[in-house]
Structure 1
Amino acid sequence: MDTKNDNRLVRLIPNGLTLSRLVLTLVFLSMILYSPHTGSEKPAAFLMVAFTLFVIAGLTDIFDGPVARAFGVTSKFGRMVDPLADKILVGGAFICFVIVRQPTFTNIFSPCTETLIQWTTAIVIIAREVFVTILRHIAEARGVSFAATVTGKVKMFVQSFGIGTVMIKWAFVSRPWGDWFTVVTFAIMLLVTVVSGIKSLQRPRR
Structure 2
Amino acid sequence: MAWRNLPNAITLGRIVLALVVAPMVMYDGFSWRMAGFVIFLAAAFSDLWDGHLARSRNLISDFGKLMDPLADKLLLAATFIPFYLLSHWTEPGTRFPWFGWKFPLWILVVIFGREAFITVFRGFAAKRGVVLAAGNAGKLKAVFQNLFIGAAIFWYALQSAAREHGWNTKLWEYWQWFHAGFTVVALTIAVVLTVYSLYVYLRDFGSLAGKKQAAP
Give the TM-score taking structure 2 as reference length: 0.75
> How many pairs align?
188
Aligned-partner Cα distance in 1 for 2:201–2:98? 35
Residues 57-76 of structure 1 aligned to structure 2 (within 5 Å): 57-76=43-62
- What is aligned with 1:77? 63
- Identify the match of residue 114 of structure 1 among 82, 101, 108: 101
- What is aligned with 2:16? 23
Shift of the alpha carbon at 1:126? Answer: 0.9
CA RMSD of aligned residues (A): 2.7
- Contact 2:138-2:193 within 8 A present in 1 as well: no
- What is aligned with 1:172? 158
- Contact 2:97-2:183 within 8 A present in 1 as well: no
| Structure 2 CA distance for partners of 1:45 and 1:202, relative to 1, 3 Å | same
| Structure 2 CA distance for partners of 1:157 and 1:106, relative to 1, 3 Å | closer
- What is aligned with 2:131? 145
Query: Which SS does the other structure have where 1:167 is aligned?
Result: helix
Query: Which SS does the other structure have where 1:17 is aligned?
Result: helix
The code of the aligned residue for 2:72 comes to D
Unaligned runs of 5+ in 2: 160-171, 210-216
| Structure 2 CA distance for partners of 1:27 and 1:139, relative to 1, 3 Å | same
| Structure 2 CA distance for partners of 1:147 and 1:108, relative to 1, 3 Å | closer
The code of the aligned residue for 1:151 comes to A
Aligned-partner Cα distance in 2 for 1:121–1:200? 20
- Contact 2:98-2:183 within 8 A present in 1 as well: no
Aligned-partner Cα distance in 1 for 2:42–2:78? 16
Shift of the alpha carbon at 1:10? Answer: 9.8
1:31-67 deviation digits (Å, cap 9, x = unpaired): 223x13xxxxxx2221111011111111221011221
Aligned-partner Cα distance in 1 for 2:14–2:3? 18
1:114-140 deviation digits (Å, cap 9, x = unpaired): 33x432222211111111111222234
Aligned-partner Cα distance in 1 for 2:124–2:9? 26
- Larger CA deviation: 141-150 vs 85-94: 141-150
- What is aligned with 2:86? 100
| Structure 2 CA distance for partners of 1:70 and 1:168, relative to 1, 3 Å | same
- What is aligned with 2:214? none
Give the percent of matched residue pairs that are identical in Structure 1 and Structure 2: 35
| Structure 2 CA distance for partners of 1:202 and 1:172, relative to 1, 3 Å | same
The code of the aligned residue for 1:192 comes to L
Q: Would you say 1:90 and 2:83 are equivalent positions?
A: no
